[in-house]
Structure 1
Amino acid sequence: MRDQETELKLAVTPRTFARLAQEPLLGEPRGPARKLVAVYFDTARRALWRGGVSLRLRREHGRWVQTVKGGGALQAGLHRRLEISHRAARAAPDLARLGASEPERKLARAAGSAALAPVFRVEIERDTRIVSPAPGVVIEVSFDRGAIVAGAARAPVCEIELELKRGPEASLFELALAVLARAPVRIEQRSKAERGYALAGAMRPAPVRGRLGVIRREMSASEAFRAVCSACLNHLQANQLGVIRGEDPEYVHQARVAMRRLRSALDAFAPLAPEDMIAPRVRAVRHATRALGPARDWDVFAAQTLAPVLHQFPGHRGLAALERACERMRAHASRSARRALGARRHQALLLELGGWLAAAPWLAAGPPAAELAWRAPVREHAVAALERYHRRALKRGHGIGAAGNARLHRLRIAVKKLRYAAGFFGPLFARARVQPMLEALNRLQDLLGAINDCASAPALIDAAAATARGPLRLQARTIVSHWSAAMLAERRRALKPAWKAFRNCERFWR
């Protein structure tokens, strides 16, 4: 049996799981919960996983079923995958049953002649329902509770899967928003297979860097807009759990980058859509970005300003006191960031944006000329957008040598928007022409960001010094302030050459 899965996963706590199991919105059970045991196989070198396919044998209704999954895509939390299933005689892979589909061919190539062995298993109880929240819409709701097991390691599974059987994809997001209005849920971007491989040590969870170059030359403006915004949401959701768990500070940085890119994508295509369609979403994303700002500010200050000073003045008791105060402020900001990304408001934003992208209402929101512009090749819009951002950056950078911090801040934003737009639209043009501009923009953006960090440092130094203890804290404050001022002066000296290099770059879109 061959099937294209389209589903949305919602992670919940055990308490919320039990509460939502009684929620009429999610229908009535079709029978008693089924116990499902699935075993995932791979080579010793995890060739299937690295090849983008999975092989599972699962016990269903008293018999084994072999399933190959692969292909598809992840879009704003929505999982699309091709699933090919065959009956199996026993709990062992039978590669002779593989067909001619792309995932099956990919699996056969990846496995080669290597032996396949169990890597992990998934043991769950599944309660399945069918709901029809709107005419023509059918969604299968699965309540999954159990564990993923890899050797002696176990990870709990407690989630609700919404699988689209019939109707528009936006229906999944609408149902998820209705569920969120009744109880706290979180979009689960990771599949059970991904969590299983992580538990088995095949991959190590780490902050995820997003991809900018997702636009293709054959895309319309509307298709390009969806692709870029979906990539930004994928980037954000991939780092969300790391922020909520308070892990590596890089998770916060990557989440902020994802949201800044999303705002830039909305801005880049705003001229094609009614203002009342784009502006509220820009404001919502800006609010979410600002919630992570203090955590990132304290992380940068601790790593790039305070740490070098401590290295130069080892054993200074005032600096040690300042460091302890900084860590307290940093921990408080981190807790605020964790609460912000775990809050219902943030999950509602992700679901609303996902549903909006799936429905593509901008195509019918304006006059016929606007729809034609959305359906036209994206290159036409890209040229106009890049020219607009480049002109704004040149205007903001005029007289850069005498610019104060406020003007440099505005220039930094203009350069950042041009940098993101160049990354978004770059694949539409020859790489050799695009690369010099990208390199110059990267250098300029990094430098302006470092200057902005130095300009923000005095407020952080004052906040840490105000809560530090000990007689040498004021001396420590002076040392760090002078160090930060020297860094600012050094970076400002490097600004003119970086600006000149950017200004001399060929406009690759012309």
Structure 2
Amino acid sequence: MQETELKLELSRSGAGSLLKKNPFGSSPTILQQRSIYFDTPGWDLSKRGLSLRIRQSGNERIQTVKAGDGAAAGSFTREEWERPVAGDAPILDDPQIRDLLAGAGSKLAPLFEVHVKRHSWNVIDDDATVEVALDIGKVVAADRESPLCEIELEKKAGPPRALFALARKVDLITPAHLGVMSKAERGYRLLGPAPGAAKAAPTPLTSDMSAATAFACIAAACLRQFRLNEAALGWSGDAEALHQARVSLRRLRSLFSICKSLFDDSRFDHLREEFKWLTSELGDARNIDVMIDRASSEALSSCLREARDEAYAAVEASLSSTRARSLMIDATEWISIEGWRTQSDETLHVQSSTDFASMVFDKFRKKVAKDGDNLIDADDESRHKVRIAAKKLRYAAEFFEPLYNNKTEAKRHRRFIKALKDLQDQLGSLNDIATAPDMLAALELSEVAGAKDLYSAEDKSKLLEDAAKAHDAFVNTRRFWR
């Protein structure tokens, strides 16, 4: 059977508020649950996108195997197989399950456990039935453990929009952040090194996907990357986590920009504007981090670190705002339900992802090649526009990379990305020099010792020469898509 659910993360105090106000129309059923997760020593199941657990609730034990990408971006849709078992050892006598686990059965061993107190409700609203489960507990792996407090909304009948309506009802009572990690993923994370900043990972695409389906997959992956980094930033205050959170938003905005021809939907435009707002909220903090790395005097470094504390506090306030939380829920609903397919030109939605990608590559390659032809004499604004076009082209090349996987295409793709990265690096450094005076003035640091070193004419002259060379190298790099 197929499972469709929406996951939200709450604080312990928030869970208490939710239980006290109980917006679900009935008293909850309360159970203590213990789940044991199994895998091979080499994590074969995890690598294949599978999970296997035995969950004990009272005297009942249920074995569950789940398949598919259960950790895309809050809205989980995956296949699952359940059966009762007598003990804490997996039973693999079903031929379908044996085939699914393909050779892993004899190597399976318990890896970690999840212990929760579950409060559950069945909520019926018109033609929709949703199972609500609030889990408060912990994940335990070897000698490590982490707290767990989340609410799962699983569609049992009716339209999936009911999940998001309930999510908004929960968020009115207590802050509810989009959840992007399954319990299994939390356990695997405990077994490895402490997770830090999350970089973008390839999105599995196939050539038989439509452009619209590819868009939905990539957008969900961008949301997931953002939420992972938002969480890491919350407990670490790490500059790389903030950088990658901003990268994920810029990738998402670039995706919306290159795919705008697919949509004629007012919600699309609204989401674009909201992601632009959220990206800007992280901008000052990131710019200060860049200047700290380049600062040549201790006086300037000290002042910038003070400014950094204020900027990071502003970022925290923005990310914890109702507006930011609502954006994550709204975007996930729009992407996963895909009502936009019925409001736009259907011929665009059946266009193959490969044809669409080629069109995007041709368009932005031409723009970067033409507009960057005279970088040395161009003004700062013109170079900035080339930088933006190069960034969109690189993100597009990364988004659609899985579609170009034969040996020749892969080799050309690596060279193309390297040429683009070299160009972006030079243009990015030039942009840092161009924006530094205004940033320093806004921080009232223009006269601090070392401030003018952040935008020296000598550095700019050298960067302009390097940028022109990088542009020439890019123009001479072979295309990987034709």
What TM-score comes out, normalization by structure 1 length?
A: 0.85
CA distance in 2, matches of 1:54, 1:11: 21
Q: Does 1:442 align with 2:440?
A: no
Match of 1:4 in 2: 2
Secondary structure at the counterpart of residue 237 of structure 1: helix
Q: Which residue of 1 aligns with 2:257?
A: 267
Name the counterpart of 1:391: 366
Deviations 1:267-300 (A, max 9, x none): 1121232263432221111101011111111112
Q: Deviations over 1:321-353 (max 9, x none)?
A: 322211111121122222222222111111111
Give the match for residue 410 of structure 1: 385
Q: Using the TM superposition, give the Cα deviation of residue 504 of structure 1 relative to its aligned residue in structure 2, in angstroms.
A: 2.5
* Aligned partners of 2:291 and 2:454 also within 8 Å: no
Q: 1:236 aligns with which of 223, 226, 229?
A: 226
Q: How does 1:359-370 map to 2 (within 5 A)?
A: 359-366=337-344, 370=345
Higher alpha-carbon deviation: 270-279 or 334-343: 270-279
Query: Is 1:281–2:279 an aligned residue pair?
Result: no
Residues 454, 485 of structure 1: 8 Å contact kept = no
Query: Which of these two proteins has the greater Rg computed from alpha carbons?
Result: 1
Secondary structure in structure 2 of the residue aligned to 1:147: strand
Change (3 A) 1:379 1:63: closer
Kindly provide the amino acid, as one letter, of the partner of residue 252 in structure 1: L
Fraction of identical pairs, as percent: 31
**Deviations 1:232-259 (Å, cap 9, x if unpaired)?**
1122122120122243211111111111
Q: Name whichever of 212-221 and 397-406 sits farther off.
A: 212-221
Report the secondary structure of 1:271's partner residue. Answer: helix
Unaligned stretches of 5+ in structure 1?
310-318, 468-472
Residues 239, 254 of structure 1: 8 Å contact kept:
yes
In structure 2, what residue type is equivalent to 1:149? V
Equivalent pair of 1:131/1:139 in contact (CA under 8 Å): yes
2:356 to 373, 381, 384: 381
What are the Cα deviations for residues 76-97 of structure 1, in whole angstroms up to 9, with x where unaligned?
A: 211234333333333x324x53
| Count of paired positions | 478
Q: Name the CA shift for 1:276/1:4 in 2 (closer, same or farther; >3 Å).
A: closer
Q: Distance in 2 between matches of 1:148 and 1:428?
A: 37
Residue 109 in 1 paired to residue 103 in 2? yes
Does the 8 A contact of 1:325 with 1:465 survive in 2?
A: no
Q: Aligned to 2:334, what secondary structure does the other structure show?
A: helix
State the secondary structure of the residue aligned to 1:245.
helix
Counterpart of 2:156 in structure 1 is 165
| Corresponding residue to 2:319 among 341, 359, 362 | 341
Secondary structure of the equivalent of 2:159? coil
The aligned residue for residue 314 of structure 1 is: none
CA distance in 1, matches of 2:131, 2:55: 19
User: Contact 1:243–1:337 at 8 Å: present in 2 too?
Assistant: no
CA separation in 2, counterparts of 1:93 and 1:168?
37
Query: Which secondary structure state, in structure 1, belongs to the residue aligned with residue 256 of structure 2?
Result: helix
Whole-angstrom distance in 1 between the partners of 2:399 and 2:149: 37
Q: Which residue of 1 aligns with 2:89?
A: 93
The answer to whether the aligner puts 1:62 opposite 2:59 as a matched pair is yes
Aligned-partner residue type, residue 395 of structure 2: Y
**Counterpart in 1 of 2:116?**
124
- Distance between the aligned counterparts of 1:448 and 1:283, measured in 2? 25
The amino acid across from 2:95 in the alignment is A
Q: Deviations over 1:202-243 (max 9, x none)?
A: 353121111355432101122122122122112212212012
CA–CA distance in 1 between the matches of 2:397 and 2:112?
A: 43
Cα separation, 2, equivalents of 1:485 and 1:358: 49
Q: Compute the displacement of 1:460 (Å).
A: 4.5
One-letter code aligned to 1:499: H
Instruction: Provide Cα deviations, 1:87-113, integer angstroms capped at 9, x if missing partner.
Output: 3333x324x5343336x5454634544
Contact 1:76 1:230 in 2 (8 A): yes
Using the alignment, how far apart are the partners of 1:275 and 1:505 within structure 2?
37
Q: Tell me, yes or no, if structure 1 residue 489 matches structure 2 residue 442.
A: no
CA offsets, 1:151-206, max 9 Å, x none? 5544222221111112333432232123223431111212222223333x335312
For 1:133, the aligned partner's letter is D
* Residues 133, 175 of structure 1: 8 Å contact kept: no
Equivalence for 1:313: none
Q: Secondary structure at the match of 1:401?
A: coil
Unaligned runs of 5+ in 2: none
Query: What SS does the aligned partner of 1:205 have?
Result: coil
**Against the structure 1 CA distance between its residues 43 and 388, is the aligned structure 2 distance closer, same or farther, given a 3 Å change threshold?**
closer
Return the alpha-carbon distance in structure 1 between the equivalents of residues 391 and 298 of structure 2: 36
Q: 1:183 aligns with which of 156, 171, 174?
A: 174
Report if aligned partners of 1:56, 1:67 keep a CA contact under 8 Å in 2.
yes
Inter-partner Cα distance in structure 1 for 2:216 and 2:244: 20
Aligned equivalents of 1:98, 1:333: Cα separation in 2: 57
Q: What is the CA-CA distance between 1:140 and the residue it aligns to?
A: 0.2
For the residue of structure 2 that corresponds to 1:400, the secondary structure is coil
In structure 2, how many angstroms separate the alpha carbons of the residues matched to 1:229 and 1:45? 30
Post-superposition Cα deviations, 1:9-54, rounded to whole Å, max 9, x if no partner, equal 11112332122225464231354x1111223344555555455433
Structure 2 CA distance for partners of 1:502 and 1:16, relative to 1, 3 Å: same
Are residues 1:451 and 2:430 paired? yes
Render the CA deviation track for 1:111-166: whole Å, top value 9, x for unaligned.
5447x24x43322211111112342x211001212222345544222221111112
C-alpha displacement at 1:73, in angstroms?
3.7
Q: Which moved more, 1:56-65 or 1:180-189?
A: 56-65
Contact between 1:30 and 1:128, CA under 8 Å: does it hold in 2?
Answer: yes
After TM superposition, give the deviation of residue 402 of structure 1 in Å: 0.3
Gap change, CA 1:442 and 1:34, over 3 Å in 2: same
- 1:503 is displaced (CA, Å) by 2.0
Could you tell me which residue of structure 2 aligns to residue 315 of structure 1?
none
Q: Aligned pair in 2 of structure 1 residues 331, 437: CA closer, same or farther (>3 Å)?
A: same
Secondary structure of 1:261 counterpart: helix
SS of equivalent residue, structure 1 residue 402: coil
Alpha carbons of structure 1 residues 227 and 120: separation in structure 2 relative to 1, 3 Å:
closer
Q: Distance in 2 between matches of 1:72 and 1:474?
A: 51
What does 1:200-279 align with in structure 2 at a 5 Å threshold? 201-212=191-202, 214-274=204-264, 276-279=266-269
AA in 1 matched with 2:321: A
Tell me which residue corresponds to 1:499. 471
C-alpha spacing 1:505/1:50, structure 2 compared with 1 (3 Å): closer
Judged with a 3 Å threshold, the aligned counterparts in structure 2 of structure 1 residues 459 and 363 are, in CA distance, closer, same or farther, namely same
Query: Equivalents in 2 of 1:204, 1:14: separation in Å?
Result: 22
Query: Which amino acid letter does the alignment assign opposite residue 9 of structure 2?
Result: A
Q: Deviations over 1:369-409 (max 9, x none)?
A: x1122123233333333333233323422422201222111
Change beyond 3 A, Cα 1:46–1:399: closer
Matches within 5 A, 1:325-336: 325-336=303-314
Task: Write the deviation string for residues 59-89 of structure 1: whole angstroms up to 9, x where unpaired.
Answer: 2231333333343443321123433333333
